[in-house]
Each structure stands twice: as C-alpha cells, then as structure tokens.
Amino acid sequence: MKNTKITIGSQIREGISNTLRISMREFQLIFKDVGVMILIFAVPLIYPMLYSFIYYPEVVRDLPIAVVDLSKSSDSRQYIRDLDATPDVKVINSSVSMADAINLFKKRQVRGIVQIPETFSSDMALGRQTTVSAYADMEFFLYYKALVTATSFVSLETGKHIQVKNLTDKGLTEQQAEITAEPFLMVDNAMANRGGGFASYGIPAALILIIQQTLVIAIGIMAGTARERHVFGTLVPLDRKRMGTLRLVIGKSAAYFTIYALLCVYMLGMIPEWFGYGRDAGLTELIALITPFILSSVFMGLTLSVIFKNRESSMMLYLFTSIPLLFLSGIIWPLANFSPVWLVVREIFPSSNAIFGYIKMNSLGATIFETRKEIMSLWIQTGVYFLTACFAYGYQVNYTAHLRSELASHPYREIRKRMAEEM
C-alpha cells in the first residue's frame, strides 16, 4: 500500500515536472522566434495606441458645411449664426447658390449643405410651417449625424422662440409662454457609450478580436515551425518524456495564458483608462470574463494548430477571418438582423461572447450575474476546445509513438542518427 502511494505520488510529481518543462520550453521557443514575438507583443502593444490616436477625437466637431440662403433676411442670418454656434458644424460659406454648394461638396471642401427657402422669414411671420433642407454626406454616418443634430437643434430652438414671442404678445408671462411652447422637457441621458464616440464602443471590441487572432495565429506559427524543425515533419517531438497528451496541452496552454493575461491587463485595463473610454467594469468582473476567453482562445488555437504544415499557412487564417469575425461580433450590424445560421456560426468563436460581455461590463457596469450568459458560453467553449485540443494532440502523440517504434529498428544509421538528434 505504501509503495502504491509512493508510486502515485512520484507519478504526479513527474507529471507536474514534465508539464512545467513543456511550458518553459514553449516560453523559450516563443522568445527565440522573432516573427512570433512581433505578433504576440508588438501588435497588441502598438495597435491599441495606434487605433486610439487615429480615432481621437472620438466625435465629429465643426463639420464644414455650406448654406444656401435664398431668404437673405435677418431671420435667416440669425438662423445661420445659431447653426454656426453649435459645436457640430462650421459654416464655411453662406452666400452661395445650390449649384456652387454642390460643387464645393464634390470637391470635398464641405461635407453638408443647408438650404433656407425664400419664404423662410415670411412663413415665420405668418405662423406657417417652413422647410429647411439638409443635404448630408452619407459616406460617413458621423457626418450625417453631426449635420442632422445641429439643424434639428437650431430649428427646434428657433420654432420655440417664435412661439414664446407670439404667446407673450398675447399676454402670457415669459415662463408661461415657455411652458406652453415646450410642455415636455426631454432629458437625454446616454446609458452606454456616454461620450458618444466611435472609439469608446468600437476599439475595445477590436482589441478583444486582436487578442484572439494574434493568439490563435501565434500558436499556428509555432506549430508550423515545429513541423519544419522536426526531422519527419511531426507536430510532437520524438522524445518519450514529452509524449503525454495532457502534459502537452496544459504545458503549452500555460505559457500562452500567462503571456496574454498580462497583455489583457494592458489592452483592456490600461488603454481604456488612458484614453477615457470609460471603465465601469471592476477587476473581479474582468477576471471572470477574460479568464475563460483566453483559455478558450488558447485551446481553439491548439486545436487548429494541427492543420498547419508550415509557418506561413497560419497567417492565411488571420487574413480571411478577421473582417468576418468583426461583423459577426454584432458591433457593426445588430444581431437581431442576423440569420439563424450566422447566429450559430458566431458561437464558434470566443471573441463573439467576449466582446458582448466586455461591452456590457465596461459601458453599462454590468455585474457577473448580468453577464452570466456570455461567461457561461465562454466556459462551455473552453471545455469543448480543451477536449478537441486533447483529441488533436492525442492523435499526434500516438502517430509519433508509432513512428518512433518503426524508426527505432530502422537499419539505416543516418535516419536513426537524425531521430536521436531530435530527441
């Protein structure tokens, strides 16, 4: 009985020791590979800063516009001054014809056109409805938003002032007139992305996708390198001490998890803080979400790595999947408009649930309980991809064992010598 306990204990210690050795070996291979180092460290470290500076400031201000003033009255000039005073637009020219304004738009000197009708002043004096036409550049939705926001605000304020003046002329007090003219006071409170910027919403989601893609591709490159380095093109070396499937999967995973856990602190913790993207998520919530995300991405990468025969082939996966995965995340196109097929496809990738969970936590201050769906989905993916990784590497281990047994008795000295060198 005592010998049995000793044997089991020694096996456990040996297993842990071999797992640690595999992990340290993976660290060494990573830090020796310049290409992998650039992918793992340079891209995650530089891209967040680059994206953040590109999208700063986050919102469109002082959008250049032209105003076609057909009224040429004091009322229209006041309207133009009020329009120019808004932070959203800047009136470049207010004395052009429609043809001239269109020409300025085609030259990209202005990004929008506002046309004030000839009857603008008389319509307001007689209490008739007047029409101010806004022509917005729809190539960029933010341009459209800026112009519509400015014209809508000024038009509503102008209409309110006219009503107040008419009511005070009829004997109402200014306070009574303002209440009558505006019986409902709308208070706009942003609940998510309070800054209203593109970067606050889009960049954190893009960073999560970068984490997944660089991680999966890095593992693929390392697998391709292993096949190129090993004499017989095997993924697993011919060393008997490294043959355990669990040891291989856990050892390799530990190396990548450690690296990317530190990178996530920088990308998802420090970057949002530096650039003011908002960080309502607490440390506990982030750990609860990011831990299964990294694990599931690592195991997915290990599963996919068995198909890569060389270093370059893994890069093709990055080129063909990055943009589709960004669309599948649901930040560009609402999930409600997805077909059932695509809703199933997006569940294959850990980034989909991680992006949604991170946005809920970081923008809405959601708790772990409120993001349990995304967290549970990530843990399910972790379990599934762990099993597939074990299966994939188990097959490679068995194949290598079979190959080793055949080569051990091979009569040719050169082959046996090369096999020994690999060990």
Please report the domains of the chain, with CATH numbers, ordered by start residue: 10-54+195-422 (no CATH), 63-181 (3.40.1710.10)
Average confidence score pLDDT of the chain: 80
- Quick check: 179 pLDDT over 90? no
Q: Which two tokens stand for residue 195?
A: 């800054």
Give the global pTM.
Answer: 0.76
Per-range mean pLDDT, top range of 148-157, 219-228, 346-355: 346-355
Which DSSP state fits 51? H
Q: Output the pLDDT for position 423.
A: 46
Q: Output the pLDDT for position 185.
A: 61
Lowest mean pLDDT among 112-116, 276-280, 410-414: 410-414
The pLDDT of 33-50, averaged and rounded, is: 87
**82 vs 74: CA distance, rounded Å:** 12
The pLDDT of 154-160, averaged and rounded, is: 79
Write down how long the chain is. 423
The pLDDT of 58-75, averaged and rounded, is: 85
Backbone angles phi, psi at 114, to 5 degrees: -120, 125
Residue 122: which region, alpha, beta or left (left: phi > 0; alpha: psi -120 to 50)?
alpha
**271 vs 215: CA distance, rounded Å:** 19
Instruction: Between 301 and 241, name the one with better pLDDT.
Output: 301
Q: Which of 306, 245, 242 is nearest to 22 (CA)?
A: 242
**301 vs 212: CA distance, rounded Å:** 9
Q: Output the pLDDT for position 292.
A: 96
Strands 63-69 and 112-116 come out as parallel
Quickly state the pLDDT bin for 399 (edges 50, 70, 90).
Answer: confident
CA atoms within 13 A of residue 139's CA, in its CB half-sphere? 6
Q: Which two tokens stand for residue 336?
A: 């409600």
Lowest mean pLDDT among 114-118, 195-199, 203-207: 195-199
Residue 276: which region, alpha, beta or left (left: phi > 0; alpha: psi -120 to 50)?
left
Beta carbons within 10 angstroms of residue 32's beta carbon: 10
Quickly state the pLDDT bin for 131 (edges 50, 70, 90).
Answer: confident
Beta bridge partner(s), residue 364 = none
